[in-house]
Structure 1
């Protein structure tokens, strides 16, 4: 009998029991505001999440048809996101927004049955099975992800599952949910409403998922449909090119496509039944460091400014641009661009609207005001905007600004001081202060910020993203404050550059980090490379979001000897924040990590004031309180096994500037995830880690309360001169260096946006052992392989202890109250 397509496109749950086939309607995004005031922005946002949910008891009615509008007034579409176990439409909101999403699927049961399921989300959810309401999850939370068990009363045959999601859009917003069948998943078949139209889309999604990248070619499982395109993404940071940075070519009818050289960022797109499907891939072997040879310091500095000046404005997720750094670079080079006046007024509008990160713009604007003449209209507009800005969370006005991170707090403090000095006798309406009062408030907090870093070190330590922002904020403190603060700020800036220089290995920053993003897999592309290239022109450069434009008009002097630190051998450990960092760097390898937990004697963790404020009075106007809020939101630097993670990168082993390996427990199941923690950056749950003498041990235990029960290895095979894989071992050689990675469980290759770069271990409890060595000790890779195996790593699950090379590490789960919001 001929099988009909609508009967053919049926799906089982994935290997972990998750439902993966959905139609969605949304996101519906509407402005959201509330007049409630709170000096604690985190508590304020928690309150907003509690009131954003609108209750609904009855399942939304109406026919569900592909391409036609649903309850939200937005069309139903097929959800496709390669490798995702969740419906995940997470994104970033610069202003407060109410976010809504509807989704549905059909579960076909072989008989009347009740199955148990787990619902995972950060958002507020209502779920109906047929007409029965089976789940209410509220209110929305920021972190960690919540798990709620439900029962699904399935009838024999088809059962509609309808999901209604609501949440508060504020900065990085986790707009996602997942449904995991806990028993009987193998009996459940997934289909979709409107089968006649959705079947072709599902078929094309399967085709998209089958694409392979091998030998610089894409291979398709059958000819590409008419309208299918191959795109090359320039990855331009310029917002003015956001609509044109992808060049597309038809590949209709092709089964194989040879990719163009030196265009490594590719995407395949197709249109089917009014639906757009897209999958991204990267040719990792062609993503290489960029350097300019033979330039002295001054000429290289001008090249940095030219690269920044060439960008009209920095794209913020393709939604709008921030242009102040680019304007500063053009002014420094004497480039008079007629667009810049328009961009300046656009910048002032963004500051006035209090976009998140508008403090970045204020810092740049202050530098512009301090260095360049303004006509009367611009001067009047600048004054109005700065007088009505909100310089701290205890001042008037609802918005989505982040005040508390290490870089944000610095910029708010120094900007309050600078703005108050500009207009000492004027009244700042949101602060309810005169300029002199605002200056003194900013000065006091800036001095506390400096004192904290002087005593404890950086919380966003070695962050190859945020150290650039902190560098720019410190330059404003160096250039536009009191003599005492200038000296202290310069010393802290020296410390920042010294730490990054220590961790620079054969050109790239290789480091554990307080906060990081996906470019951790490309160390030479990280923002801090711009700083290292400024210090030492021999280092590879990156764009660095244009922050070095601040340096064009700064009096800060870069300390001598940093190039020696970059190129020399180091074996050391040091504390920063609550973290203990270990670094082994020699001509063969660089191995570095944070210890989890710290076991050095005398360590005393600084106290989080937000855990005390309910029972005793605390100084909410102090930086110590701000720092406590930051630990709650952006993750702790007190690394301990079992604690929920955020964007912390815990360890790396590198053989050169681009051949780096590490493991992590991902916060998302696919490379395109917008989660924090993400796929390659951060950890859903932190492991135990210990390092010494070229050997690193790590133990991961994934609790029932987390949905993702695998860890994975970043292993860029194409970057090695040689590599070998044997059962639970991976071995690699690059130049004179060797590395080996052992896992207590089975390592399964996996491809997503990258091919030949990932191995997964699907277990709840697992251990890793990384070993590094050099050619002067091991003449060949084979000799090193035998040595690594002779260290005999063993993992005892009963005690959660891994042993190797005479070292042992035991996983002792901890809980950290600071990591719940």
Structure 2
């Protein structure tokens, strides 16, 4: 065998001596190799040849991946695959080390706004006690090639967008040390699952690992130290962010928290894209037995929300990273004006004073006649993503159209107005026009935004020919008008697939507010106002103490861990009053500038009076497949979705949660992880969505959940609950039960098997796992007004005496109203009588204090 060096370019240029021995970990059959040397990513802009695509949108919207067919970029990639041959380079710069932790996958999933072909090289050392033939299973999203030493042993190039494919292969491993090299490549088209997993199927005495200019013991100490890092809190509302080490090395480990760096083309949707924004200088600290903690930075002046923290160790000529996240909530503002007009004006004043680099803020500045130079800069900042047709450019374009319609040729230089006019005329407004972009045309919110953009652009320039389509403005307007009515028809029939989504209701608002204020068509104005009313009622029902929460059709971890610092929370604060974290104001700015006002009853839904209990039931989504239930009082809220794709692979659907009003972040939920990479970019992720969807039913203040992980070949075989202990006033933990109190709100959680508390890691003390492929869970909400003292609430929960039948996958409860039985398939039963979900209506039906449910449109006020 020819000697293959693992040295990087920097190693070969370094005179510090040869590499030390490898740090190895035994690999048994069924285990994955998840520690690798990694090269820097090679990124190539890869658009392909522009062309139109068939308009196959059927306006039957779903949550999940939509098979779009190959876009021009993927067609170009498939053409390249026919003529290229991937060879093992003589020299690869392996500057980083990837440590997978719990996750068996080597995962680089992310979000790219333009088509980018991204490739990486990975290498690890493999040893065997004896020469033998071993078998591996390889799984990838993307394409991968594998070499053992200099011999290629696998070419696996499915390149199906966001669809994983597997292959097996054999390799003859000699006695002693070998090198395993992997080439991973994928075409990133917006949200992209990009990973590989290499699992040993057959082999004895096999070990794998990494090599650097330090000894094996020191390398293990560095890994253990990084894996043991966590922030001292998950939520910061004041003071400093500190890091704690659960593992203390025998020798000091120097760590750096670098300045936040987010590549302009790639992001993750779980944290703020602008990161901490605290300093351009890295923060360095040392972890040792004498220094188990370190102070990082003060949160004063930071924008509220979830942020990413990347910890780096430079050792032995390599770079090792560990990513974490945390939530920042500096002091909020209060919108306590009695009338919405006052809240709108107060919000606009705050937006004028500061905010993100968004065109919505430029619209505010122009509308109020303030700071035209700043408005010009904001518009200039917004133009490149639209010109380059980044994904989500339709979101940026809507306020730009409003700006042009309301303020063209005033306040700003004529050349900027002329440039904006050209940008509007040259945009690609639908997939049947020529394009080589990866803008997403298939989801509910994007379809709406594209149609409104096309309608208003055509209305602005009726007699101009739009160069990309060859159509006149009049043709664009007529085409978009018909498409918009088709979209409204679909929503009228089915409701919204992205129900209650704190991430995507604001995107709907971007379109709806823009259309409401800028159309002169009475029918479109009426339909827009009616839908805005419906969304605001649903938002109010699922908002507790200024936090939009509850079951959601699409969600990310930032909505779960910082729900009060979302765009929807900004809109809700203006609409209903309450706490407001300014800064996430794209949709809120448009709302504040509009003449639209929500139904007055919505505020009563958002802030129920002490002693009142609200119940709501309605459906949303295609064929009414999301059956939503709500139980709510002033102190607690339980929301769930029933019978949603039970037992199927999930996406971003959040099935059930409890929110307590005593703290804005006192939120509790259960899910089956879709991914083991904490704060990763997968959909579903560790906490957001479900790998396999549960069976859910809600009866009053009790949600029953059944998981059957045998229904799908999913690698993760546990479910878990998040319980924010650090925010709770009381917590009682028993074998199968956890009870928590925040102020006057209560939570009861039951698991059908013993609940294992995590002792280390970011969620130590706040995550409990149930290691059972078939599992039953209960989530019970309560309050002092409804259930008396906390002890009385606990006793009422225990009296339910839940029993889980693993063979039948069913859960029974001794409820005071009669024995409840939830089977995995079939209706919830009470005292042997099926309780089919009702009403099957997209209009929320609401009841008070146990009374009958009535359509909200027929209610004048909340009364018993």
TM-score above 0.5: yes
Of 561, 568, 574, 1:534 maps to 574
Matched with 2:405 is 370
* Aligned residue number for residue 106 of structure 1: 125
CA 1:282–1:79 in structure 2 vs 1: closer, same or farther (change >3 Å)?
closer
Q: Which residue of the other structure, out of 336, 345, 352, is the alignment partner of 2:380?
A: 345
The 1:671/1:420 distance shift into structure 2, 3 A limit, reads: same
SS in 2 for 1:11: strand
Distance 1:373 1:763, change over 3 A: same
Q: 1:643 aligns with which of 648, 656, 666?
A: 648
> How far is 1:595 from its partner?
0.3
2:362 to 327, 344, 369: 327
Once the two structures are superposed, what CA deviation does each residue of 1:398-442 show, in whole Å capped at 9, x if it has no partner? 101011222211111111111111111111122221111111001
Q: Of 415, 433, 438, which aligns to 2:476?
A: 438
Alpha-carbon offset, residue 447 of structure 1: 1.2
* 1:724 paired residue number: 732
Deviation at 1:468, TM superposition (A): 0.9
Conserved? CA contact 1:52–1:167, under 8 Å: no
Q: Does 1:522 align with 2:540?
A: no
Selected match of 1:736 from 744, 761, 766: 744
1:394 counterpart SS class:
coil
User: Aligned-pair distance for 1:133?
Assistant: 4.2
Q: CA-to-partner distance for each residue in 1:548-586, whole Å, 9 max, x for gaps?
A: 222344232333222111122321210111311011112
SS in 2 for 1:252: strand
* C-alpha distance after superposition, 1:108-149 (max 9, x if no partner): 223334444433322122223445544443322334433444
Summarize deviations over 1:328-358 as a string: whole Å, max 9, x none. 2322343215344244234333212111111
Question: Quick one: structure 1 residues 8 and 355, their matched pair in 2 at CA, closer, same or farther if it must change by over 3 Å?
Answer: closer
Counterpart secondary structure, 1:712: strand
Alpha-carbon RMSD across the aligned residues, in angstroms, is 3.4
**In 1, distance between residues paired with 2:592 and 2:660?**
34
Q: Contact between 1:288 and 1:658, CA under 8 Å: does it hold in 2?
A: no
Q: What's the secondary structure of 2:334's corresponding residue?
A: coil
TM-score (norm 2): 0.79
Of 366-375 and 434-443, deviating more is: 366-375
C-alpha displacement of 1:367 = 0.7
Any idea what the Cα deviations from partners look like across 1:442-474, whole Å, max 9, x if unmatched?
111111112222222111111101111111210
Question: Judging changes above 3 Å, is the alpha-carbon distance between structure 1 residues 553 and 211 closer, same or farther for their aligned structure 2 residues?
Answer: closer
What does residue 709 of structure 1 align with?
717
**Residues 5, 391 of structure 1: CA spacing in aligned structure 2 closer, same or farther, 3 A cutoff?**
closer
Name the CA shift for 1:61/1:262 in 2 (closer, same or farther; >3 Å). closer
Distance in 2 (CA, whole Å) between partners of 1:58 and 1:159 is: 23
Identify which range, 138-147 or 45-54, moves more after superposition.
45-54
Distance 2:695 2:799 in 1: 23
From 241, 249, 253, the equivalent of 1:222 is 249
Which of 211, 217, 222 aligns to 2:229? It is 211
**Cα distance between partner residues in 2 of 1:59 and 1:351:** 35
Q: CA deviation at 1:494?
A: 1.0
- Distance change in 2, residues 1:466/1:14 (3 Å): farther
Partner of 2:820: 807
1:586 counterpart = 2:633: yes
CA distance in 1, matches of 2:136, 2:275: 45
Alpha-carbon shift at residue 775 of structure 1 (Å): 3.4
Q: 1:45 aligns with which of 70, 80, 105?
A: 70
- Per the alignment, do residues 787 and 200 of structure 1 end up closer, same or farther by CA in structure 2, a change over 3 Å counting? same
Greater shift in the superposed pair: 485-494 or 32-41: 32-41
Counterparts in 2 of 1:220-299, with a 5 A limit? 221-222=248-249, 225=252, 228-229=255-256, 244-245=278-279, 248-252=282-286, 255-257=291-293, 259=295, 268-281=311-324, 287=329, 290-292=332-334, 294-296=336-338, 297-299=340-342
CA contact (8 A) 2:347 2:592 kept: no
Contact 1:367 1:550 in 2 (8 A): no
Could you list the per-position Cα deviations for residues 240-268 of structure 1 after superposition, in whole angstroms to 9, with x for gaps in the alignment?
88765576543236613364675796664
Per-residue deviation at 1:731? 1.6
Say if 2:40 is the partner of 1:26: yes
CA–CA distance in structure 2, aligned partners of residues 492 and 212 of structure 1: 44
- Counterpart CA distance in 2 for 1:706 and 1:413 is 38
Answering whether residue 793 of structure 2 is matched by residue 758 of structure 1, we say no
Residue of 47, 61, 77 corresponding to 2:88 = 61
Partner residue of 2:674 out of 654, 657, 667: 667
Structure 1 position 381 matched with structure 2 position 419: yes
Q: How many residues align?
A: 750
C-alpha displacement at 1:530, in angstroms?
0.6
What is aligned with 2:206? 188
3-state SS, counterpart of residue 498 of structure 1: helix
In 2, Cα distance between equivalents of 1:13 and 1:584 = 49
Do the aligned partners of residues 792 and 469 (structure 1) sit closer, same or farther apart at CA in structure 2, a change above 3 Å counting? same
Ranges in structure 2 where 5+ consecutive residues have no aligned partner: 1-17, 57-66, 234-241, 263-269, 301-305, 827-864
Give the corresponding residue for 1:90.
Answer: 109
Cα distance, 1:790–1:113 mapped onto 2, change above 3 Å: farther
For 2:586, what is the secondary structure of its paired residue? helix
**What corresponds to 1:395 in structure 2?**
433
- 1:208-227 alpha-carbon deviations (Å, 9 max, x no partner): 11235558662461388575
Aligned to 1:179: 198
Go from structure 1 to structure 2 and tell me whether the alpha carbon gap of 1:267 and 1:200 turns closer, same or farther (over 3 Å shift). same
Match of 2:586 among 526, 538, 546: 546
Q: How has the CA–CA distance of structure 1 residues 143 and 108 changed in structure 2, closer, same or farther, with 3 Å as cutoff? A: same
Q: Which residue of 2 aligns with 1:300?
A: 343
Say which SS state the counterpart of residue 79 (structure 1) adopts.
Answer: strand
Instruction: Summarize the Cα distance change of 1:14–1:267 in structure 2 as closer, same or farther, 3 Å threshold.
Output: farther
How far apart, CA to CA, are the structure 2 residues paired with 1:306 and 1:233? 29
- Which residue is equivalent to 1:624? none
Contact 1:289 1:540 in 2 (8 A): no
Q: Determine the structure 2 residue equivalent to 1:507.
A: 546
Find the residue that maps to 1:559 and give its secondary structure: coil
| 1:426 aligned partner | 464
* 1:410 equivalent in structure 2: 448
Between stretches 785-794 and 199-208, larger displacement belongs to: 199-208
CA contact (8 A) 2:229 2:243 kept: no
Is residue 59–residue 133 contact of structure 1 (8 Å, CA) maintained in 2?
A: no
d(CA) in 1 for partners of 2:86 and 2:525?
Answer: 62
Contact 1:769 1:804 in 2 (8 A): no
Label 1:706 to 1:131 Cα distance change in 2 as closer, same or farther (>3 A). Answer: farther
Q: Distance in 2 between matches of 1:16 and 1:725?
A: 34
Three-state SS of the structure 1 residue aligned to 2:33 is coil
Structure-1 separation of matches of 2:615 and 2:677: 36
Deviation at 1:153? 4.2
Q: Distance in 1 between matches of 2:768 and 2:371?
A: 51
Tell me the equivalent position of 2:620: 576
When residues 246 and 754 of structure 1 are mapped into structure 2, their CA distance, relative to the original with a 3 A threshold, is farther
Contact 2:132 2:203 in 1 (8 A): no
CA distance in 1, matches of 2:271, 2:202: 47
The aligned counterpart of 1:17 is: 31
